[in-house]
Chain A
């Protein structure tokens, strides 16, 4: 047994080396990107220890006193820890549920017959992505204003009661997520549009001949063509569950919705403002990233078992 095993393993290794030598050009193709990653990502990696030290500039990273898990303890023991993590997860999962929307939108656009109309739609719907978040939140506040916003004016004209939108904690997540969808659906569809170029029109014709209607063709020809892309995007998205953005939340927050709008990134910012503790924000970041990465790994394994292909 042993000999055969070593033998077959030895054969494997030999085969791998041969392949490596044969494909040396591929390694060369990887080289520039790899060099950049090594220089700008791996070389500074030792800085992660800031999260475990009592960093101050005078002593530098390596010279600062070791603090172990002190900052993590502060974070976990904080009265705000659980609310802040909960809010982050709520917003994150809610946003996650809107993941299919750009996909559906791309499928819709792809199947519009008029080329001209399709192009116009694409060009217009991707524009909101470029509007800066400061402007978007300014618009949200202005349009939903209780006193003078046109949304309330319209509601009243239709016989309803005015709503103080930004004062209701219950509405915060909805406003946050759906304005996000509005802003990103056109842009997010682009990658799927690119993947849809793999959807073979001859397969469509064959399906039509077999009597499939358009909807069936979309489901059985178009969607499988982009399924690998969808899968990868899904897995990558799972890798950002703890990463809820700072800017939009910070701008949309007000004293009445803080119970739902204080997320990890805004919390860390405020703590950092008070005492310039880089170690603390580094520790919270590390906490975020570990959870993200773990979740990513788990989802990746599940995906690989189910479909055979995954991120790695």
Chain B
């Protein structure tokens, strides 16, 4: 009897499991947000794991001519919208659905593994802002060629590209000769052209009767004064950090320091002179740069922890008011306290003696792979029309990226301009639920697609007092030193990329480790010679040849 009881219990358990597992799909689709899930069960069938099969149960995207699209979108970590209601605060997205009469299911894909599963078996109709160049190049079989469809199906986009984007065809064409994606982001975005810039504490300078330095020598004198005096007024003259940097922070790596020595390391381990790739990590000038910074570090003028500290520690140093000079995006990135923030002013790109500073700027800020249509899409025309809708005019593009006009941005004298807005304004315009985030990146990321909007020709103007204006005040100091020629933007074919990864694997770590170690511990002749000869072991010659090929578009 006991036996029977146990048997029946176990059998019942397994049975229950089976039933629940099979029934779960229908049950779940009733529970969650009606719009999203219904869409899934309807058009879900058209996304089978074999890319090219056409959906037999539904003609061109839905019954009774209703166009349905399933779009994978990039959701910024700051975006507080629910996955199931992604377009809730994004006005343009909802308007598009209404005006075009489409039913769109937005599917946020945040993690790379999630993207992998989508590429595997759950291909959406469109990838919006999700894929990287190499993901597209490696898997062109999954995407539809668009070159002959842009003019007919997306006339606004075509007009925009033809008029304002020279060489747009070359930019968008993949190595196999087709165009698979549409452009997004901002074409000309000076604030994003370079990485970190240098900032100095004006208040400390004034206290010590010093001027803003313009050469490495002057900088050194200023740093000595910072080191030896109690600048922050806490009674301790020894706890200031005259100059701080942080290799673990993307905007403060050692490469930014090299620009003062005419070594444009921020763009890569090469320079471009008269159309030729020139090596810069084995030159005497490079050695000089490392030895200079080692000397400064050894004398306590540059933070000894620059190579090892985490970005949290870096933040902590700066926001604690301990730092005289730092490299970074802008003071507001690290400091919340208004008073402390205002103490930091841009420092020009100091030059080493006898050198003109030099750096590589990324002047084309557009992303190539913003909008990609897959082979699972039943209605290419509709997908293109949607993109065209967002790109119909400048106002539309801005609204898609930054939310509706009059909130985060507005037109001032015909120029799209950033605004300073309050929570009350946000509430008035209907964003009461997220108004507490007004003014922050959370708000911006929730009401717009930010960097994944359709192509905008230029960025918004930043009236004085806004963050953008502060950032610009430092970037403009660097502009005179931009390299004349920058690296080509053409797409690298998949097999060349693969060979490159494997031949030069470990190269960047090797160079970075030697640099950071030299700054901390100095260089001996043997050490230098060993380093230079070790470069070839990590494929440095191949690296240079590869860059030359890329520059010449010779793949």
User: B residues within 8 A CB of A56?
Assistant: 138-139, 141
| B505 in contact with A255 (CB, 8 Å) | no
Query: Given A78-B505, A256-B513, is A28 in contact with B305 using a C-beta cutoff of 8 Å?
Result: no
Kindly identify which residue among A31, A58, A74, A164 contacts B308, using a CB–CB cutoff of 8 Å: A164
A11 CB-CB contact with B under 8 Å: no
Residue ranges of B at the interface with A (Cβ–Cβ < 8 Å)? 3, 6-7, 10, 13-14, 49-51, 116, 119-120, 132, 134-135, 138-142, 239, 241, 247-248, 303-305, 307-310, 312-313, 317, 497-498, 501-502, 505-506, 509, 512-513, 515-517, 520, 537-539
Can you give 18 contacting A-B residue pairs, CB < 8 Å? Answer: A25-B6, A25-B7, A32-B14, A56-B139, A57-B120, A58-B142, A60-B120, A78-B502, A79-B505, A141-B308, A141-B313, A146-B304, A147-B303, A164-B304, A255-B516, A259-B513, A276-B132, A277-B501
User: A residues within 8 A CB of B119?
Assistant: 57
Which residues A6-38 have CB closer than 8 A to chain B?
A: 25, 28-29, 31-32, 35
| A164 in contact with B305 (CB, 8 Å) | yes
| A167 in contact with B308 (CB, 8 Å) | yes
Q: How large is the interface on A (under 10, 10 to 19, 20 to 34, 35 or more residues)?
A: 35 or more
Nearest Cβ on chain B to A174's Cβ, whole angstroms:
16
Kindly identify which residue among A31, A142, A258 contacts B313, using a CB–CB cutoff of 8 Å: A142
Kindly identify which residue among A28, A167, A255, A278 contacts B512, using a CB–CB cutoff of 8 Å: A255
Residue interface bits A161-185, CB-to-B below 8 A is 1, else 0 = 0001011000000000000000000
A222 CB-CB contact with B under 8 Å: no
User: A residues within 8 A CB of B506?
Assistant: 78-80
The answer for the CA separation of A57 and B376 in the assembled complex, in Å, is: 13
User: B residues within 8 A CB of A255?
Assistant: 247, 307-308, 509, 512-513, 515-517
| B308 in contact with A256 (CB, 8 Å) | yes
The answer for the CA separation of A11 and B116 in the assembled complex, in Å, is: 54
| A32 in contact with B10 (CB, 8 Å) | yes
The answer for the CA separation of A88 and B37 in the assembled complex, in Å, is: 45
Nearest Cβ on chain B to A48's Cβ, whole angstroms:
16
User: B residues within 8 A CB of A256?
Assistant: 307-308, 513, 516-517, 520
A271 CB-CB contact with B under 8 Å: yes
| A254 in contact with B505 (CB, 8 Å) | no
User: A residues within 8 A CB of B307?
Assistant: 167, 254-256
Known: A79-B539, A164-B304. 13 other contacts (CB 8 A): A25-B3, A58-B141, A78-B505, A138-B312, A141-B309, A141-B310, A147-B304, A254-B247, A254-B307, A254-B516, A257-B308, A275-B501, A276-B132
Kindly identify which residue among B141, B247, B509 contacts A59, using a CB–CB cutoff of 8 Å: B141
Residue interface bits A116-158, CB-to-B below 8 A is 1, else 0 = 0000000000000000000000100110011110000000000
Nearest Cβ on chain B to A260's Cβ, whole angstroms:
11
B517 to A, closest residue via Cβ? A256
